[in-house]
């Protein structure tokens, strides 16, 4: 029996092969126990909790740790044998490739989980799903490039000259495409700073406004009120003053109206209270003030301020229309006249006996 165990095959005795097989079998048994007992219990406990971190750990363990454990058992079994240097080199290369692959995949998984968790807490995950895919896709691409470079370095390739060449080439590309890169960095500013999101109605200038339809890596697209699509570079957006009406909690409204100069003082005193009662009786409208503001060129001017407790523009217009109609009806019932532009002309004439006579002619300025 001892002679059989000491027989050599490809530089190793049968005993060494049996020992390697025993190491591999013991590793498989350990992994199966780990999966069936520890991991299964932890997975069951994670399903009962509301937190998502434990579910993420279970998934990460199944996708990354368990495959690495299987390879580790195989690696420990193989290195217990006397191997040819070329075989050892191939085995090390495979080990480096697998470790790099699983480490990069684990980093990407952690990055995805962190970003999704952050946006889920902000309540903004659904609105920014498309942006998340773009950003995470770009981040994953960069991580795989970095991992590939480190892999080449660990495999013994001379990459310093390649990196230097890439650096010089990168500078040239950056100078040639600085506008595109500027828009790309502005995209990250928009993504993390969140001045607006898809569905928000924003204005950038007096002639540029619309609802946000798409936020891309280079440009953002708005749907204007007249129907056409506005395409604006991200750099222009970041460098502009943006008014976001979607995030307006309430709308401040200021308007003026004028009554004729011959309105009695008693009725002038009623105007402010009348308007206050009208606005106070309208849902989603909050009265602020109503004052006799100024003596105008042809009217006594009142200034009214109130708040619409909604960012919806249509809601604001409905409330303003209701206020205007009620003011018109109440003024008519009280006999208060609205003023309109008028002019008074004084004409000097000579009467029949040679004395000057003044005539007053009033006319509308319309």
**Most confidently modeled of 70-79, 134-143, 176-185, 295-304?**
295-304
Give the pLDDT confidence score for residue 188 in this predicted structure. 80
Give the pLDDT confidence score for residue 36 in this predicted structure. 84
Give the pLDDT confidence score for residue 263 in this predicted structure. 92
Percentage of the chain surpassing pLDDT 70?
81
Look-up of token digits 């990196």? 163
Per-residue CA distances from 81 to 7, 20, 87, 90, 343 (Å): 14, 7, 11, 15, 112
Asked if the model's pLDDT at residue 336 lies above 70, the reply is yes
Cβ contact 183:217 at 8 Å: yes
Give the pLDDT confidence score for residue 269 in this predicted structure. 92
User: In this predicted model, what pLDDT tens digit does every residue of 294-317 receive, in sequence order?
Assistant: 999 889 999 999 999 988 888 999
Asked if the model's pLDDT at residue 19 lies above 90, the reply is no
For 85-105, what is the mean pLDDT? 86
For 235-257, what is the mean pLDDT? 88
Give the pLDDT confidence score for residue 161 in this predicted structure. 62
User: In this predicted model, what pLDDT tens digit does every residue of 265-282 receive, in sequence order?
Assistant: 999 999 999 999 999 999
How confident is the prediction for the chain on average, in pLDDT? Answer: 81
Higher pLDDT, 229 or 182: 229
Q: Distance between terminal CA atoms of the chain?
A: 123
Asked if the model's pLDDT at residue 354 lies above 90, the reply is no
Asked if the model's pLDDT at residue 125 lies above 90, the reply is no
User: In this predicted model, what pLDDT tens digit does every residue of 137-148 receive, in sequence order?
Assistant: 777 888 888 888
Select from 231, 99, 77 the least CA-distant residue to 154: 99
Asked if the model's pLDDT at residue 155 lies above 80, the reply is no
Q: Is 227 left (phi over 0), alpha (psi -120 to 50) or beta?
A: left
User: In this predicted model, what pLDDT tens digit does every residue of 189-204 receive, in sequence order?
Assistant: 887 788 888 888 888 8
Q: Which domains does the chain carry?
A: 2-175 (no CATH), 183-244 (2.30.30.60), 251-342 (3.30.70.100)
User: In this predicted model, what pLDDT tens digit does every residue of 24-64 receive, in sequence order?
Assistant: 899 899 988 888 888 888 888 877 777 778 778 888 888 88
**Most confidently modeled of 117-131, 174-188, 214-228?**
214-228
For 57-77, what is the mean pLDDT? 85
What per-residue string of b and e applies to 150-169 under the rule 16 or more CB within 10 Å gives b?
ebeeeeeeebeeeeeeeeee
pTM of the complete model: 0.51
| Least confidently predicted of 206-220, 254-268, 307-321 | 206-220
Higher pLDDT, 129 or 325: 325
Give the pLDDT confidence score for residue 366 in this predicted structure. 43
350 pLDDT band, cuts 50/70/90, is low
For 195-221, what is the mean pLDDT? 85
172 pLDDT band, cuts 50/70/90, is low
For 332-355, what is the mean pLDDT? 73
Give the pLDDT confidence score for residue 324 in this predicted structure. 95
């Amino acid at each position: 029996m001892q002679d059989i165990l000491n027989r050599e095959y490809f530089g190793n005795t049968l005993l060494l092969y049996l020992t390697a097989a025993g190491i591999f079998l013991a590793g498989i048994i350990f992994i199966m126990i780990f999966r069936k007992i520890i991991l299964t219990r932890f997975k069951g406990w994670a399903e009962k909790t509301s937190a998502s971190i434990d579910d993420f750990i279970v998934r990460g363990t199944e996708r990354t740790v368990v495959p690495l454990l299987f390879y580790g058992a195989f690696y420990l079994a193989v290195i217990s044998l006397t191997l040819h240097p070329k075989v050892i080199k191939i085995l090390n290369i495979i080990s480096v490739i697998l470790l790099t692959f699983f480490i990069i995949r684990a980093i990407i998984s952690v990055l995805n989980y962190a970003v999704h968790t952050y946006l889920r807490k902000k309540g903004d995950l659904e609105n920014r799903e498309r942006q998340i895919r773009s950003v995470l896709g770009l981040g994953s691409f960069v991580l795989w490039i970095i991992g590939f470079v480190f892999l080449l370095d660990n495999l013994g390739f001379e990459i310093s000259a390649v990196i230097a060449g890439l650096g010089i080439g990168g500078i040239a590309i950056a100078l040639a495409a600085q506008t595109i890169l500027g828009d790309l960095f502005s995209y990250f500013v928009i993504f993390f700073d969140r001045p607006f999101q898809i569905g928000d109605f924003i204005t950038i200038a007096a002639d540029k406004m619309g609802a946000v339809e798409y936020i891309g890596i280079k440009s953002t697209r708005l749907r204007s009120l007249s129907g056409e699509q506005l395409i604006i570079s991200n750099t222009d957006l970041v460098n502009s003053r943006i008014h976001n009406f979607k995030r307006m909690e309430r709308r401040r409204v200021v308007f003026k109206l004028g009554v004729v100069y011959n309105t009695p003082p008693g009725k002038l005193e009623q105007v402010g209270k009348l308007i206050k009662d009208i606005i106070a009786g309208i849902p989603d409208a909050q009265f602020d003030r109503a004052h006799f503001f100024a003596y105008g060129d042809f009217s006594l001017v009142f200034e009214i301020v109130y708040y619409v407790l909604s960012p919806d523009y249509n809601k604001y217009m409905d409330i303003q229309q209701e206020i205007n109609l009620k003011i018109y009806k109440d003024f008519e019932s009280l006999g208060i006249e609205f003023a309109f532009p008028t002019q008074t002309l004084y004409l000097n004439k000579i009467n029949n006996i040679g004395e000057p006579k003044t005539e007053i002619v009033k006319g509308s300025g319309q």
